[in-house]
Amino acid sequence: MMQAEYRAPTSVDEAVGLMAGSGGKGRVLAGGTDLLVQMRAGMQVPGLIVDVKRIAEMTSIVQQDGDWRIGAAVSGAEIHDHAGLRAAWPGVVEAINLIGSKQVQGRASAGGNLCNASPAADSVPALVAAGAVATVQGPNGRRAVPVEQIPAGPGRTSLAPGEIVVSLTLPARPKGSGDAYLRLIPRTEMDIAVVGCGVNLTLSGHNCVAARVALGAVAPTVLLVEAAAKALIGSTLDPASLEAAAAACRAACKPIDDKRGTIVYRTKIAGVLLKRAVAIAAQRAGKH
């Protein structure tokens, strides 16, 4: 049976040192809702487990100059209970809160969801649409990485050996902005997205002046769909523009047929969710 060393450092430097010294056998434990399940299934056999939940920077939510910095190990439940963050980024919060179940929310983190690198991760399309930036620290210091560049493929990240995601920063956005995340699952909960769609947009009057659109579960990694954003920007979110954005989403899809959905269905649903998510984001933008 597996036997792994367990360490719970209190600083990022220490955690990075442990990871860098593990010879590639180290795994970061935040909530453990992916790692422990994968270990039980024999899919992961780590030699070292680095529990990051005792590191203040990784377990806190901080607002600074309009930016929100979410520690990579903050649980979904804590994010849910943070009224300020919820009001500022409702789409991101609802996406993070869709991970797993009520029980899983008590442990699961956005950082873990990102680093697990599932194309169907619920929080990632919302973070990508939000323009979130990951703070990554490794043996060579810190760097800022757009969230969409972290996943490299199913179960793979672009992180270098020894690097860990410390926090996720949601950049300040102008008044009149709103975001939303929708996913399609065959059930009402306890399921994995067949398609996920995150939308973040800014309105000036009736005009959409900025937009970012991201899709999950339709390609090996979460997609930033710039063509869809382009179709929205400069429009009044009129039916023709929405259809153009939906078409751009469908065109961006490179899904697979699997037990969770077909290519045809996923492609169609990407367009459906885009329209619905835009409607919610626009409604929220109107309130800000």
Partner 1 sequence: MSAQRYKWVGTRQNRPDGADKVTGRARFAADFNLPGELVGKVLRSPHAHANIRSIDTTAAARLPGVKAIVTGADFPEQPDQLLPAGEMQVNLRDVTRNIMAKEKALYEGHAVAAVAATTAAVAAEALSLIKVDYEILPHVIDVREAMKDNAPVLHAHMRTEGVKPAPDKPSNIAKRLEFAKGDADAGFAQAEVVIEREFTTEPVHQGYIEPHAALASASEDGQVQLWTTTQGHFQVRGFCCRLLDLETAQLRVTPSEIGGGFGGKTVVYLEPLAIRLSQRAGRPVKMVMSREEVMRASGPTSGGHVKVKLGARKDGSIVAADVTVALQAGAFAGSPVGPSCMCSLACYDIDNIRVVGFDVVSNRPKVAAYRAPGAPISAWAVESVVDMLAQELGIDPIDLRLKNAAKQGTKTHYGASFGVIGLVETLEAAKNSPHYRAPVKPGHARGVAAGFWFNVGADSSAAAQVGEDGTVTIISGNPDIGGSRASLALMAAEELGIDYNKVRPIVADTASIGFNFVTGGSRVTFATGLAVINATRDAISQLKARAAKIWEVDVEGVVWEEGEARPSSTNVGKFEPLSLAKLAASASRTGGPINGHAQLNAQGAGPGFGVHIVDLKVDMDTGIVTIDRYTAVQDVGTAIHPSYVEGQLQGGAVQGIGWALNEEYIYDKQGRLQNPGFLDYRMPVASDLPMIETVLVEVPNPTHPYGVRGVGEVPIIPPMAAIGSAIARATGVRMLDLPMSPPRLSAAIDAATPAMAAE
Binding residues vs partner 1 (CB under 8 A): 1, 184, 186-192, 194, 246, 258-262, 264-265, 268-269, 271-272
Nearer to partner 1, 175 or 259 (CB): 259
Nearer to partner 1, 233 or 247 (CB): 247
Nearer to partner 1, 1 or 83 (CB): 1
Reduced 3-state DSSP string for 142-190: EEEEEHHHCEEECCEECCCCCCEEEEEEECCCCCCEEEEEEEECCCCCC
Ranges assigned E (strand) in the chain:
5-7, 26-29, 48-51, 61-64, 67-71, 133-138, 141-146, 151-153, 156-157, 164-170, 177-184, 195-204, 207-216, 223-224
Nearest distance in Å: CB 85, partner 1: 25
Nearest distance in Å: CB 184, partner 1: 6
Token pair for residue 226?
């710039």
CA nearest 76: which of 102, 54, 105?
Answer: 105
Phi, psi at residue 79, to the nearest 5°?
A: -65, -40
Residue corresponding to tokens 């697979």 = 256
DSSP 8-state secondary structure symbol assigned to residue 131: T
Residue corresponding to tokens 């009129």 = 238
Nearest distance in Å: CB 225, partner 1: 18
Nearer to partner 1, 131 or 196 (CB): 196
Cβ–Cβ < 8 Å for 285, 177: yes
Nearest distance in Å: CB 11, partner 1: 35
Nearer to partner 1, 9 or 155 (CB): 155
Nearest distance in Å: CB 237, partner 1: 17
Nearest distance in Å: CB 259, partner 1: 5
Nearer to partner 1, 2 or 152 (CB): 2
